[in-house]
A and B are shown apart, each in its own frame.
Chain A
Amino acid sequence: MPDYRSTLERIERRVPMPEPAIERLLRRRERKLRAQRIATVVGALAIAVVGIGSALLALREGGAMEPAGGASSPPSPGGDGIAGFVLPTLAIWIGIAVVGLTAMTIARLRARPGASGAHERRTGASPGPGHGPATGTRAGTEEGGTTMDSKSRIETTGGVRLPDIRMDDGRVRRTNRWLTIAVIVLAAGLVALGTFVLIDRSGEEAAAPPSGTGATAIVPYTTSSVMEAQVTFDGTRCSYAGPTEVAAGTVGIFRYTTAAKSSGLTLASLEPSVTWEQVERSSRRDPPSAPPSWVTDAQYIVGSGTLRSWPLDEGLYAVTCATGNTSADRMFPAVMLRVIGG
């Protein structure tokens, strides 16, 4: 049976290991630490830029909202809505957290042992009593197998200078854990801040007037008053009790009472030039044909005792009672109602 082991050993013995191995190991460790430090600085700066930028954005959004369309209403100190209260507070706390975290990261980085250890090994200087332990961490992040938990002190053992390995008493890991939590909280704060900013902006956009109109805002329909009217129809005469001239925006409440079967109340919108005579003439046609061309719109209710409210826009209206069915319709005008613009 072939001796595989000795064959393999023969092959591997032929390849010398690069020397001095321990020095090369130390140099690799320093390279790794340097890369970690650079990554930490870049990460801390990125967090700081994003955090402070978000804080400034939030303060601007929350503290100085301009009225839409440039109308001159005084800005409220905290802006409007929930964002006006939340954003500045959040921004201040995030700003404090970012500054504190960045300062802590930089302070811990400055205490890293790598550079000084390399220098002492090159110069051969023995460590002074003040060469205290330094913690090795990255800003709040732990990756298995890459964080050096050892603390350095240069010693000489058998002609090779080897950084002393201090046992990890758990403080470094605890600090890292808290830093990690701080970063997570900060990230959550940023997400919340972004959400509030987005919600706030979408609210503003929804309320903004059309661009280029110069209007300050969309004017909604407002009710200036309520008008009540009673319309009574006895089968031959349609009577109206109520105002004949009202302001635009008025809501008219029409109560219709009738003794006639198959009758209803019609509120017809007329062209502005139509006269009462035209309305009466039109109603005398028996039966009326198609609605006159000057009737632009019509609303109606049917049946005695009914109640209906209609918003009245500016214009001219005819209040009319109507009877019959499709073969024998008859119109009984009661009054012309004028709605005057505001």
Chain B
Amino acid sequence: MAQETVLAPARAFEEFFEAERRRLFGAVYLMTGDVGEAEEILQDAFLAVWERWDRVREMEHADGYLFRTAMNGFRSRRRRLARMTRELLPSQTSEDPYERADLHDEVVRALRGLAPRQRAALVLTELLGFGSSEASELLGVRPTTIRNLAAQGRAALRRAMEHDHA
């Protein structure tokens, strides 16, 4: 009984990890467009949750905490990347094995053409179903900004989807 009590948090975390990892990875991948970066953001977010698991598991929306942490990681990485790009121009681009295959898809190309903030707004509101106020908190911008960014993303996506169907 005592053994089970000790082991329970690990099992609970593992179950949480298995339940959320695919959804988080997909969302972060759509935002970053890079498998490696998406995995790193996901791992950092899960490790942060792990460190505070005793409190996070008690939360009503532990997945919300996880996504918020991941979004913070995404934002800080974007900032760091922008700074590095400015400092180290010309930048070196890494080869993504998935990117080449995806570029055959008009929709993926359209998604790639969006700014990271537009992609993030689109993913949060359309894929993950967050409202504009929740998404604005996650991205640290105003709700109107989220609505504008998501509308721009949807417009680009719609044009690509229509082109695909044509």
Contact = CB atoms under 8 A, between A and B. Distances in A.
Interface residues of A, number: 37
Contact of B98 (A8, A15, A158, A168): A15
Interface string A100-130: 0000000000000000000000000000000
A286 interface: no
B53 A8 contact: no
Nearest to A160: B14
Given A12-B27, A18-B35, A5 B126 contact: yes
A11 B30 contact: yes
Contact of A7 (B6, B10, B161): B161
A240 B43 CA distance: 103
Contact of A25 (B47, B102, B108): B47
Contacts of B9: 164-167
Interface string A2-13: 101101110111
A145 interface: yes
A2 B46 contact: no
B10 A164 contact: yes
A34 interface: no
B17 A164 contact: no
Contacts of B127: 4-5, 8-9, 12
Range class of the B interface residue count: 35 or more
Interface string A268-291: 000000000000000000000000
A313 interface: no
A8 B13 contact: no
Nearest to A162: B10
A314 interface: no
A147 B10 CA distance: 18
A145 B25 CA distance: 20
Contact of A17 (B25, B50, B53, B101): B25
Contact of B161 (A2, A25, A148, A166): A2
Interface string A23-67: 011001100100000000000000000000000000000000000
Interface residues of A: mostly helix, strand, loop or mixed? mixed
Nearest to B28: A12
Contacts of A25: 17, 43, 46-47
Contact of B126 (A8, A13, A24, A168): A8
A145 B157 contact: no
Interface in B15-62: 17, 21-22, 25-27, 29-30, 35, 39-40, 43-44, 46-48, 50-54
A12 B29 contact: yes
Interface of B: 6-7, 9-11, 13-14, 17, 21-22, 25-27, 29-30, 35, 39-40, 43-44, 46-48, 50-54, 69, 98, 101-102, 105, 107-108, 111, 122-123, 126-127, 129, 154, 157-158, 161
Interface of A: 2, 4-5, 7-9, 11-15, 17-18, 21-22, 24-25, 28-29, 32, 145, 147-150, 153, 155, 157-158, 160, 162-168
12 contacts: A2-B157, A7-B107, A11-B111, A12-B27, A12-B127, A14-B98, A21-B21, A29-B50, A145-B69, A158-B14, A164-B6, A164-B10
Given A25-B47, A162-B10, 12 more contacts: A4-B126, A7-B157, A11-B30, A11-B102, A12-B30, A14-B98, A17-B39, A18-B39, A28-B43, A148-B50, A164-B9, A168-B54
